[in-house]
Amino acid sequence: MANVLDLIGRILISALFLISAFNKVFNLDDSMGWMETFGVPGFLIFPAIAIEIILPILVIVGYQARIAAGILSIFCLLTAFLFHSDFSNQLQLVSFLKNIGLAGGFLFIVANGTKDWAVDKEKKYVRL
């Protein structure tokens, strides 16, 4: 049961990033323009998309999940403080807190790793 819950948790925490990346890909010009309104160069959308696709997949399949989760945690914190720090706007405050919460969830993966359903889980061999 713990393996199932671990996998479901990894899928749920990662799904947001996969959906966000695809939204950025299909609305590339709008996403670049939005980033530029915050003083962030628009070309940084491409590494952001790569991060939002590659690292969540690594977390889901459990390959180098601690490293991927650590990078995603930093990404969430940077995103919160760069793009969602207008606390007078209720939607921005909610987005800020969402990113802080996601960073915390990824830190759980960094601290605890994944359960047995992971690509890089050590196999236990029985010596005959």
High-pLDDT (> 90) share of the chain, %: 91
Amino acid 123: pLDDT? 65
Taking only the tens place, the pLDDT of each residue in 7-59 is 999 999 999 999 999 999 999 999 999 999 999 999 999 999 999 999 999 99
Write down the domain spans for the chain.
2-112
Please give the angle made by the CA atoms of 23, 71 and 19, to the nearest 5 degrees: 15
CA-to-CA separations, 60 to 42, 57, 103, 110, 120, in angstroms, rounded: 28, 5, 16, 13, 12
d(CA 110, CA 105): 9
pTM: 0.92
Question: CB under 8 Å to 1, separation ≥6 — which residues?
Answer: none
Q: How many residues does the chain have?
A: 128
DSSP 3-state assignment of 119? coil
Amino acid 124: pLDDT? 62
Q: Could you identify the residue written with the tokens 């939002």? A: 52
Amino acid 120: pLDDT? 86
